[in-house]
Amino acid sequence: MPDDLTLPEPVGSFPAAGQPVPQHWSRCFGCGDQSPAGMSMSFTAGEGLDVWGRLEVAPRYQGGPGVIHGGILSTAFDEALGMVCRSIVDGPVVTGHLEIDFARPIPLGSVLEFHARIDGSIRRKVYASAEARIVEGPTADPDVVVATSRGLFLTVTAEHFEKTKDFVDGVPERPFGTSSI
Ligand SMILES: CCCCCCCCCCCC(=O)SCCNC(=O)CCNC(=O)[C@H](O)C(C)(C)COP(=O)(O)OP(=O)(O)OC[C@H]1O[C@@H](n2cnc3c(N)ncnc32)[C@H](O)[C@@H]1OP(=O)(O)O
């Protein structure tokens, strides 16, 4: 992380502390309410440049026997870190780099709480970090951090999605999306 980062003021569009942070896109796999196979994560604004997120670990998120798939957990962190960028960016961001440390197994049936914060920004780059705790479920302990993450997000313009925006319901000539099978 660069040592010349700044911590901007929150943007006016970011909700007040304790208020829901709305989905950024209804079809988003992480937070969208029109993504039936998605994760339906919800978010609340924190006191500063931070958000709280919630994920119910459904049985279909299974990786190893009885535990969450690491890719699902990575997706949840991606979403939480992207969401906190909204505290300082009034426009779209995309993930440039994402890293995860998996500290404890997370059983299916858990409810995970994410706390994500802005570490700083410079030019188009926003650095954020987060941790996750199990707050409900068989091994719930709000004092134990079960995973941590850091990410770099880049602000982009609407033009970034220009070539893909017509594919929101799938690629028409390819009924199974972009797969060749
Ligand atoms: C409505 C609200 C929604 C907000 C809420 C959003 C929540 C969404 C949550 C899900 C988000 C996703 O999963 S998004 C999907 C996954 N991500 C993607 O598809 C992105 C694919 N990658 C790209 O399109 C591109 O590589 C970009 C846009 C990330 C960067 O390309 P670019 O725009 O040409 O930028 P570029 O000039 O290369 O780099 C700009 C600066 O960033 C640095 N940089 C770029 N990439 C990296 C990198 N991986 N690691 C380190 N540094 C990097 C460069 O060194 C440079 O630093 P310097 O010279 O300034 O020092």
- What 3-state DSSP class applies to 159? helix
Q: In CATH, what number does 42-158 get?
A: 3.10.129.10
Q: Can 143 be counted among the known catalytic residues?
A: no
pLDDT of residue 169: 84
Supply the pLDDT for residue 136.
98
pLDDT score for 171: 74
pLDDT digits (tens, 9 = 90+) for 56-101: 999 999 999 999 999 999 999 999 999 999 999 999 999 999 999 9
Distance from the alpha carbon of residue 125 to the mean position of ligand 1, in angstroms: 8
Count CA atoms within 13 Å of residue 34 on its CB side.
6
Cα separation of 69 and 63, whole Å? 4
Please, how many CA atoms are within 13 Å of residue 20, restricted to the half-sphere of its CB? 7
What single letter denotes the amino acid at residue 46?
G
Query: DSSP code of 170?
Result: -
* Catalytic one of 4, 50, 78, 90: 78
| Token pair 């799938």: residue | 170
**Domain assignments of the chain as residue spans, ordered by start:** 42-158
Residue 73 CA, chain-centre distance (Å), reads: 9
> Is residue 93 in contact with ligand 1, taking CB distance under 6 Å?
yes
Is the entire prediction scored with pTM above 0.90? Answer: yes
